[in-house]
């Protein structure tokens, strides 16, 4: 696999930004002499945009989980970026993170790497604040995303001016969900999870119930033993990658053990 660290000037954020791109291998990693060496993919890769939580950065998923191994085994590209503590929303003239995630980052990625721009090949996932960002983008632009994975999401961001994101002009997920219901919108497939020992559990459980009450089918996982922790998100990331509805050519290839 290839881990590519990129720095470029963002027109949305008006400054240089760092991102990481993980690309699966084309040629064999296990010295299979029957396979010819190659670095040119036959097809563009499906992609998962992976969002970090509050106080973390784009490196956190690579440091604390097996995300890179999962990407290689399941033949999917990963894109990781920074959002500081801005909740993946437009929070000022120089902090337009919603625009960056929704428009500029896919433009840069699909324009410079062999990665598909098709909504059918586009996935988003994140933990905690990143889980909120995942749901916010899935509800705000459902036609652009195939599936969304929200791991222990901070679903109450944007609901109280005295809490996280209250002064950042953040999307209220409950209001957004109701608008989707009223518009009869077809949402991306949603994978929602939270450990029962997590301090966010009650709010995530309530959001799960709200999704069901409004008629939005989704996958729900709430194991008893986990708190707000990377061990849990590592497990759930692999579950999410196994669960997403892939139709790309790589999904029909054998599991790639490494």
**Tens digits of residue pLDDT in 128-148:** 999 999 999 999 999 999 999
| CA trace torsion 203, 209, 210, 212 (10° rounding) | 150
pLDDT at 7 over 60: yes
d(CA 231, CA 245): 24
Is residue 20 within 8 Å of 80, Cβ to Cβ? yes
Higher per-residue confidence, 154 vs 255: 154
Give a yes or no: residue 187 inside a domain: yes
Give domain status of residue 184, yes or no: yes
What confidence score (pLDDT) does residue 166 get?
60
- What pLDDT score was predicted for residue 258? 80
Could you tell me the pLDDT band of residue 229, with boundaries at 50, 70 and 90? very high
Task: Residue 61: name the closest of 130, 113, 122, 6 by CA.
Answer: 130
197 inside domain = yes
- 106: part of which helix (H) or strand (E)? helix 105-112
Does the residue 257 lie in any domain?
Answer: no
The reply to whether 258 falls in a domain is: no
Question: For position 231, which CATH number holds?
Answer: 3.40.50.1820
33 within domain boundaries: yes
pLDDT number for residue 223: 98
pLDDT of residue 165: 58
Rounded to whole angstroms, the Cα distance separating 134 from 99 reads 14
Scan for tokens 């053990």, then name that residue: 257
What does the pLDDT average to over 17-41? 75
Q: How high is the pLDDT of residue 255? A: 78
Confidence of residue 126 (pLDDT cuts 50, 70, 90): very high
In the predicted model, what is the mean pLDDT of residues 218-225? 98
Number of domains observed in the structure of the chain: 1
Which residue segment(s) compose the domain that 196 sits in? 2-252
| 19 domain residue, yes or no | yes
- Residue 217, both tokens: 């089918």
- Residue 135 domain-assigned (yes or no): yes
pLDDT of 162 higher than 70: no
pLDDT band at 232 (very low <50, low <70, confident <90, very high): very high
């Amino acid at each position: 696999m290839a881990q590519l660290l990129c720095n470029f000037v963002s027109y949305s954020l008006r400054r240089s930004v760092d991102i990481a791109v993980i690309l699966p291998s084309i040629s064999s990693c296990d010295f299979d002499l029957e396979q010819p060496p190659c670095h040119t993919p036959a097809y563009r890769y499906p992609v998962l945009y992976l969002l970090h939580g509050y106080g973390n950065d784009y490196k956190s998923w690579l440091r604390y989980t097996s995300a890179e191994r999962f990407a290689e085994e399941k033949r999917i590209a990963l894109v990781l970026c920074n959002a500081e503590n801005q909740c993946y929303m437009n929070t000022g003239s120089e902090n337009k993170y919603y625009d960056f995630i929704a428009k500029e980052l896919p433009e840069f990625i699909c324009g410079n790497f062999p990665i598909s721009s098709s909504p059918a090949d586009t996935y988003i996932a994140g933990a905690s604040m990143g889980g909120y960002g995942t749901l916010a983008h899935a509800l705000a632009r459902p036609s652009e995303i195939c599936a969304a994975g929200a791991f222990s999401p901070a679903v109450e961001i944007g609901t109280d001016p005295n809490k996280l994101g209250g002064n950042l002009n953040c999307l209220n997920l409950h209001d957004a969900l109701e608008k989707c219901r009223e518009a009869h919108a077809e949402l991306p497939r949603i994978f929602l999870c939270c450990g029962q020992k997590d301090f966010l559990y009650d709010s995530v459980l309530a959001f799960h119930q709200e999704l069901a009450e409004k008629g939005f089918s989704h996958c729900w996982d709430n194991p008893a033993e986990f708190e707000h922790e990377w061990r849990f998100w590592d497990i759930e990331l692999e579950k999410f990658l196994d669960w997403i509805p892939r139709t790309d050519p790589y999904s029909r290839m054998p599991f790639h053990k490494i």
